[in-house]
Amino acid sequence: MTTPTIDSAPEASTGPKPPTRVQGGLLDPKMLLQSLPDAVRKLNPRTMWRNPVMFIVEVGALWATVLAAVDPTWFAWLIVAWLWLTVIFANLAEAVAEGRGKAQADTLRKAKSDTMARRITDSGEEYIPAAQLAQGDVVVVEAGQVIPGDGDVIEGIASVDESAITGESAPVIRESGGDRSAVTGGTTVLSDRIVVRITQKPGESFIDRMIALVEGANRQKTPNEIALNILLASLTIIFVFAVATLQPLAIYSKMTNPGVPDGAALTGDGVTGIVMVALLVCLIPTTIGALLSAIGIAGMDRLVQRNVLAMSGRAVEAAGDVNTLLLDKTGTITLGNRQAAEFTPLTGVSPEELADAAQLSSLSDETPEGRSIVVLAKERHGLRARSSGELTNAQWITFSATTRMSGVDLDDLHRLRKGAASAVAEWVRAAGGDVPIELGQIVDGIAAAGGTPLVVGEVQNGRARVLGVIHLKDVVKQGMRERFDEMRRMGIRTVMITGDNPLTAKAIADEAGVDDFLAEATPEDKMALIKKEQAGGRLVAMTGDGTNDAPALAQADVGVAMNTGTSAAKEAGNMVDLDSDPTKLIEIVEIGKQLLITRGALTTFSIANDIAKYFAIIPALFVAVFPGLEALNVMRLHSPQSAIASAVIFNALVIIALIPLSLRGVRYRPSSASKLLSRNLYVYGLGGIIAPFVGIKLIDLILQFFPGM
């Protein structure tokens, strides 16, 4: 194959626009109309049988349609219409939940199309469609070109625009080696040149998985969801038998009370078929059966809205049951960059003198620590923020692992150094100076408090001495203590993982407010801690980004891999944070708990609804035969026909009314399990009992003006 030159190369693909973020919340009428055709298509029995409760409703609606065609009445066709609406409303809940991800999926598909890859071969380079890339291929990507597939950077460093995946416009750095080598297909290189080894299999790229996830195509039912489906199916079977027993009871009642007139609900042959179907649909748990799938899809969608991809619904559910959070110290609990917090001079040295020397020795230090020293000297002591360019004759000494010092030689007579205590002390002694005992006391005090001591030394006019110590502090992020207090109220234990020594780790842990810490942690230590927690029956969540985190991420019940991390880490975890924000693990746990609470709340509401509907319909149906039931007919419904029709209509309308809540989720407040249970029983249990009485009565007041009621 002829290899085209760079000049004759196809025009570089431009990066796709960020995916549309479909906001959660109340039902959008436009989305409702867009989802209606999908809801109708879901009436296919091959689709409906996956939901046993709604499949029974569809079969009942079909049978009622046949009965109404044989013996047409206004009452019969009214019931048939609302039975079909009940099924459509149930499908609509799922269709709307799935439709919320379609806009994102459509945008993501654009990231795959029309992308060409510059594959490196033995004979040079060749241009092929990105879809033809195989695992192990090596491609080169330059500024302005789209990365054709998922892989690891094996050569070079570049600034990459990942807005097509994360929605975040700020570019990120990707480089060979280390934990920031992974790149994603569909993102755009903004500068420089990188060589990428493709790690994806055909059709299994990160974008392919994102598309499947946001559309719900790969959503599998979770263990709790399966268990709840079994419960709902069992309740449905019980109510089928319960409704079936009404037929012989009705026939016997008519035989022993021949003076009772026939009606649309009760005849000499017993309860009519239309009424039997209506009763069954009203009494089985149709509300939660209709919304269960939508709740699960919406839970994953809420994660997508926060730029987190859950590779399975099981992971989202497990997040709601997490008992232990393992959090990395650097970048999660702390800002990650040590900041200068204090200048501590030795006896005989003024604070201003130490600050001036510290600032001078840090002017060429472009590390966050060096810049913070310059700023602290300016803010605390009013020293002007000088630049290294002003000192034209100065010789700058850069930090090295060998010397463990940096600084400046202003001239032959004036030299400054800052660095590790032992290194600076040795430098001062070599220049003929003494190191006072006071220095060791200050250094030990800072280390015991969790800080990092940097010693400043000076040689001026032949006199060598130690000036003092700079206290570098790993700054805890604002609000972390409050977040950990919330976790504690939720019954979650927080553990900080760090490579620091135990003294430093304890100081940071106490300041942040975590429950425990693991110091000087190795990958083996993380694994051992996770297994120990799981052996005690706890579910564990952790974050990670490096290859050495992969075993622990795979072992954890919820493993959140950073998108900036290695391919090994992303493959091992069951969630990927596209923003690479380690603190998002706390939000993930809250979303998981919200999912479980929403499912539990609506299940409570649904079952309470069924109990209330039972006491609303049965007395109205049999009060003519058994006058004693009048005491239970608290709503004083107009007639048996009106009672049944009102219940069927309410049963359908309550589904559509609860779709927004199932998509948005029940509001979660950090609290103990017992308090959450009490609140749900009070709000959704009591509310589920009261709502049918109010709703059915209002509908009955309207229906009594129609003929045949």
- Determine whether the annotation assigns residue 384 to a binding site: no
CATH number at residue 146: 2.70.150.10
Would residue 3 count as lying in a domain? no
CATH number at residue 371: 3.40.1110.10
Would residue 625 count as lying in a domain? yes
d(CA 278, CA 271): 11
**Which residues span the domain enclosing 523?**
308-333+477-578
Any idea of the CA torsion for 359, 362, 363, 369, to the nearest 10 degrees? -110
Which strand (E) or helix (H) includes residue 106?
helix 102-112
Out of 444, 475, 506, pick the residue that ends a domain.
Answer: 475
Q: Coil, helix or strand for 138?
A: strand
Same-domain status, 631 and 515: no
Q: Coil, helix or strand for 165?
A: helix
- Determine whether the annotation assigns residue 561 to a binding site: no
Number of helices and strands (H, E) in the chain? 25, 23
Same-domain status, 514 and 647: no
- Determine whether the annotation assigns residue 418 to a binding site: yes
How is residue 428 written in tokens?
């001062």
Output DSSP code: residue 681: I
The reported pLDDT for the residue numbered 426 is: 92
Same-domain status, 316 and 344: no
How is residue 454 written in tokens?
């940097």
Q: Please identify which residue in the block is written with the tokens 């995946």.
A: 165
Q: Assess contact for 421 and 438: CB atoms under 8 A.
A: no
Give the HSE-up count for residue 149: Cα atoms under 13 Å, Cβ half-sphere. 28
d(CA 127, CA 470): 56
Same-domain status, 184 and 276: no
- Determine whether the annotation assigns residue 208 to a binding site: no
Would residue 42 count as lying in a domain? no
- Determine whether the annotation assigns residue 28 to a binding site: no
Same-domain status, 490 and 524: yes
Same-domain status, 339 and 471: yes
Nearest to 297 by CA among 279, 281, 316: 316
Would residue 611 count as lying in a domain? yes
Out of 215, 249, 278, pick the residue that ends a domain.
Answer: 215
Same-domain status, 394 and 324: no
Would residue 14 count as lying in a domain? no
| Amino acid letter for position 334 | T
Same-domain status, 700 and 615: yes
Q: Assess contact for 457 and 451: CB atoms under 8 A.
A: no
Would residue 35 count as lying in a domain? no
d(CA 569, CA 677): 37
- Determine whether the annotation assigns residue 405 to a binding site: yes
The reported pLDDT for the residue numbered 65 is: 94
Out of 475, 490, 521, pick the residue that ends a domain.
Answer: 475
Angstrom distances, CA of residue 127 to CA of 124, 140, 183, 207: 11, 10, 20, 21
Specify the pairing of strand 493-497 against strand 516-518. parallel
d(CA 103, CA 698): 39
- Determine whether the annotation assigns residue 434 to a binding site: no
Q: Assess contact for 325 and 487: CB atoms under 8 A.
A: yes
Would residue 425 count as lying in a domain? yes
d(CA 514, CA 487): 10
Three-state SS sequence of 431-465: CCCCCCHHHHHHHHHHHHCCCEEEEEEEEECCEEE
The reported pLDDT for the residue numbered 212 is: 63
- Determine whether the annotation assigns residue 599 to a binding site: no
The reported pLDDT for the residue numbered 21 is: 41
- First-to-final CA distance of the chain: 82
The reported pLDDT for the residue numbered 155 is: 87
- Determine whether the annotation assigns residue 399 to a binding site: yes
CA angle 425–427–433, rounded 5-degree value: 75
d(CA 296, CA 591): 11
Nearest to 359 by CA among 350, 349, 372, 346: 372
**Which positions are annotated as active-site residues?**
328
The reported pLDDT for the residue numbered 523 is: 79
The reported pLDDT for the residue numbered 642 is: 83
d(CA 39, CA 181): 44
Q: Assess contact for 492 and 673: CB atoms under 8 A.
A: no
Would residue 396 count as lying in a domain? yes
The reported pLDDT for the residue numbered 81 is: 94
Same-domain status, 240 and 341: no
Q: Greatest CA span in the chain, whole angstroms? A: 125
- Determine whether the annotation assigns residue 400 to a binding site: yes
- In the chain, which stretches have pLDDT less than 70? 1-29, 31, 99-114, 163-170, 178-179, 202-222, 250, 253-271, 312-313, 331, 336-337, 384-390, 401, 564, 622-629, 670-673, 707-709
Number of domains in the chain: 4
d(CA 4, CA 500): 53
Same-domain status, 283 and 343: no
CATH number at residue 550: 3.40.50.1000
The reported pLDDT for the residue numbered 354 is: 92
d(CA 307, CA 579): 6
- Determine whether the annotation assigns residue 549 to a binding site: yes
- DSSP codes, 507-531: HHHHHHT-SEEE-S--HHHHHHHHH
| Amino acid letter for position 284 | I
Q: Which residues contact 352 (CB under 8 A, 6 or more apart)?
A: 381, 383
Provide φ and ψ at 485, rounded to 5°: -65, -40
Same-domain status, 358 and 471: yes
Same-domain status, 545 and 648: no
